[in-house]
Amino acid sequence: MQFLINELSFIGQAANDYETDELMKNIFEIIKQISVIQNGDPIQTHSSFACKKLSANLTVHEWILTTIKSKKSEQQKIAMILMILLSKGPFIDLQDLLNDCKCNYQKQDVSSSSLAGAVKLQGILISLQNNPDFIQENIEIEFQEGTSSLENRSIKNLTEIKHAKKICPRYQLHSKHDPSGYWKNATPMNLTNEEAQKVLNCSVGNSNKN
């Protein structure tokens, strides 16, 4: 399943260092939650992501350089994840995926953004909290590819942990498949709970590609 960090959601909304760290911690928690259904697909973003503002005086790149030396393990982890993303990509605007696409959001042209990439790849956005333009769990975008007509498309937009949990179902053993039970019109589960969860995770990720 394709996930894209929404660079347009980073507008310097943090008022201080504490708020900056809390916003980035939330991004980290979302990434942890969805990691089980990525199925090997790397998180993508836009090549301008590094210079986007977290606060009035701090860019994403500056926060990473400062935080990577932090003694707080969670902050270090998200800084390292973002450092890898910024150094290796993939960047949605540098792959020739959007050359033939037109995308508008709130009457603004966002044709080379992660929003357009999310539509093209049938992916899901991860947005920074406290941006009034990206508070909805589903956002509506106008999208056109090639000579096709301009269409309204809906993109799932994760800004809270609860949004991520909705797309990461948890396996629960049904009583009719209980290995210790008696079956008349059912069969016992021949997988452990952990194995069944992995199968479920893969099915969620692969469903996005069908």
pLDDT tier at 14, thresholds 50, 70, 90? very high
Mean pLDDT, rounded, for 186-200 = 51
pLDDT at residue 197, as a whole number:
43
Reported as a single tens digit per residue, the pLDDT across 72-91 is: 777 888 898 888 888 888 99
Mean pLDDT, rounded, for 134-151 = 95
pLDDT at residue 184, as a whole number:
55
- Give me the torsion for CA of 40, 101, 166, 162, rounded to 10°: 100
Q: Which residues contact 167 (CB under 8 A, 6 or more apart)?
A: 34, 37, 124, 156, 204
Do residues 20 and 137 lie in contact, with contact meaning Cβ atoms separated by under 8 Å?
A: no
Mean pLDDT, rounded, for 54-68 = 94
Answer whether residue 140 shows pLDDT above 90. yes
- Mean pLDDT (the chain) is 84
Exposure class string for 125-147: b at 16+ Cβ within 10 A, else e: bbbbbbbeebeeeebebbbbbee
Do residues 141 and 115 lie in contact, with contact meaning Cβ atoms separated by under 8 Å?
A: yes
Do residues 157 and 138 lie in contact, with contact meaning Cβ atoms separated by under 8 Å?
A: yes
Mean pLDDT, rounded, for 31-55 = 91
pLDDT tier at 45, thresholds 50, 70, 90? very high
Q: How far is CA 188 from CA 59, 180, 184, in A?
A: 54, 8, 10
Q: Which residues contact 143 (CB under 8 A, 6 or more apart)?
A: 101, 102, 103, 116, 119, 150, 151, 152, 153
> Could you give the CA distance from residue 10 to residue 52 in angstroms, rounded to a whole number?
6
> Could you give the CA distance from residue 209 to residue 65 in angstroms, rounded to a whole number?
36
Answer whether residue 203 shows pLDDT above 80. no
pLDDT tier at 40, thresholds 50, 70, 90? confident
Q: What is the chain's length?
A: 210
pLDDT tier at 94, thresholds 50, 70, 90? very high
pLDDT at residue 69, as a whole number:
83
Closest CA to 24 of 64, 57, 71: 64
Mean pLDDT, rounded, for 106-123 = 96
pLDDT at residue 196, as a whole number:
44
pLDDT above 90 as % of the chain: 61
Burial class (CB in 10 A: 0-12, 13-18, 19+), 170: exposed
Reported as a single tens digit per residue, the pLDDT across 143-159 is: 999 999 999 999 999 99
Upstream peptide bond of 90 is cis (omega within 30 degrees of 0): yes
DSSP secondary structure code for residue 36 in this structure:
G
Q: Give me the residue spans of the domains in the chain.
A: 3-165, 171-207
The pTM of this model reads 0.80
